[in-house]
Amino acid sequence: VKIVQPSKNAAGDKLLGGLLAEGFDEASCASRYQSYSYRKDRHRKPSPHLIAKLRSYEELHNRCGPNTEPYKNAVKLLRSDHKDVDSSDCKYVVWISYSGLGNRILSIAATFLYALLTDRVLLVDEGKDMKDLFCEPFPSNSWLLPLDFPLTKQFDSFNQGNSRCYGKMLKDKAVNYSTNSVPSYVYLHVAHDYDAEDKLFFCDDDQSLLSKVPWLVMRTDNYFVPSLFLITAFEQELEKMFPEKATVFHYLGQYLFHPTNAVWGLITRYHQTYLAHADESLGVQVRVFDPRPGPFKHVMDQIRSCTLNQNLLPRVDVKASGFTSSKKNPKSTAILVTSLKLDYSDDLRSMYWEHPTSNGEVVGVYQPSHEEFQQTEKRMHNRKAWAEMYLLSLTDNLVTSAWSTFGYVAQGLGGMKPWILVKTENDTVPDPPCRLAMSMEPCFHAPPLYDCKEKRGTDTGAQVPHVKHCEDVSWGVKVI
């Protein structure tokens, strides 16, 4: 039985090496202090600087968060159009609920890092199911944007045409912060469809302008962390927080996203029933973006050739189908497949039932759900999606699908470099079928390709050694 027992320094482990703060009510969010006993110890520790930064952020959030005096004062500013610059005030970045669950988790983490780097308070628009999926991450005060926040009703009108959109303001030449008067809020469009002006958000000069604005309201479905690494003003701080650079989502994700008890029940019941007893586990995340109904034979063949070639799974002896004398306690592997369709795991399951493995090992294949298609704003659907991302993160090894943020969340939380199934073309199995990721960091799918200093286009995947083009999205960039 492979249930990991709490080790001697249980207190330290429970708090993930100091990443998590003490003092939460454990029963109201069991996952926060229990996750360590399900996760493989990959011997990583957050840096003392990151820990200090998080503790001081918690103080800031407590002092400036919802319903505090500074918060009420800052909200008053929104009623007037401009304010006099007063650096002692609390400043905020508001994340607008937008896009699929994987995208949301990644973009909240990126926005939180931005908040840490700019000494802002992060407030999250709860949308339809935030409360149902995630516990509160900060002690003492909520991260949810209060329901009576005066701009919420306008969120739908926050787009690139809005006169408060930073990119639009630049186009209209409406940005002039040279005086002491700055707007009380600016809308930042950092979504996949943003344009050249919106992208100036990632330039030092623009950051210095924006630093004066009390409220930044952001719509993003992107993990824009790699581009924060290219902003000179943030360089030193990032270096200190993340001496091992490619751990940003690993730590911030584990710090922020704790499944609620409803989701933790889904996770732990499944884990204890199907995964905990195996000697080894492999997660296989199958996300097919092909609009045709499927299932696809080439995807099945790709999964088989990836997992067998990389020795992630034992081969079967296809000629044998009868009884073969087996070892008394054969090594067992549990495969956790997540997919909207059942067919891919069915195929694997049949393979290991119909034929013995060449080395006598036994393989169980499990898939928690098959929801058939992506749905939004359905409680149980989103709970299951979150539980499955989390379950994947608890496996020993991981195979993910190219382009999918669902897989990025799993690899990052689990601290694993996954094998990425290369995107297929012309219904054939790519050669090689999968590639080992350079790092466990998610890919930023829509980075700016602009050199702020030179004011011209550039390859942002070639500027510094630690930000490179992604394995799966050639124009994307990731931290390695």
Nearer to ligand GDP by Cβ, of 117 and 342: the residue is 342
CA distances from 480 to 49, 261, 462, 464, 474 (A): 20, 34, 12, 10, 15
Q: Does 343 bind ligand GDP (CB under 6 A)?
A: no
Q: Which residues contact 94 (CB under 8 A, 6 or more apart)?
A: 123, 124, 125, 145, 149, 151, 215, 216, 217, 218
Nearer to ligand GDP by Cβ, of 56 and 374: the residue is 374
Distance, CA of 281 to CA of 337 (rounded, Å): 11
Q: Is 207 strand, coil or helix?
A: helix
The answer to whether residues 92 and 121 touch, using CB atoms and an 8 Å cutoff, is: yes
Q: Does 472 bind ligand GDP (CB under 6 A)?
A: no
CA distances from 155 to 107, 162, 217, 471 (A): 17, 10, 9, 34
Nearer to ligand GDP by Cβ, of 71 and 344: the residue is 344
Q: Does 404 bind ligand GDP (CB under 6 A)?
A: yes
Question: Residue with CB nearest ligand GDP?
Answer: 100
Query: Least distance to ligand GDP from the beta carbon of 341, Å?
Result: 9
Minimal CA–CA distance to 284: which of 431, 427, 433, 444?
433
Nearer to ligand GDP by Cβ, of 380 and 436: the residue is 380
3: DSSP letter: P
Binders of ligand GDP among 259-298, rule CB under 6 A? 287
Region near ligand GDP per CB under 6 A, out of 34-42, 100-108, 234-242, 320-328: 100-108
Q: Does 18 bind ligand GDP (CB under 6 A)?
A: no
Query: Least distance to ligand GDP from the beta carbon of 283, Å?
Result: 11
Joined together, the tokens standing for residue 328 give 């008394």
Q: How many residues bind ligand GDP (CB under 6 A)?
A: 18
Query: Least distance to ligand GDP from the beta carbon of 456, Å?
Result: 31
Minimal CA–CA distance to 40: which of 9, 1, 2?
2
Q: Does 338 bind ligand GDP (CB under 6 A)?
A: yes
Query: Least distance to ligand GDP from the beta carbon of 369, Å?
Result: 5
Task: Candidates 31, 34, 103, 160: give the one binding ligand GDP (CB under 6 A).
Answer: 103
* Alpha helices, H only, 271-404: 297-309, 343-354, 379-393
Tell me which residues touch ligand GDP (CB under 6 A). Answer: 100-103, 287, 338-340, 369, 371, 374, 381, 384-385, 388, 404-406
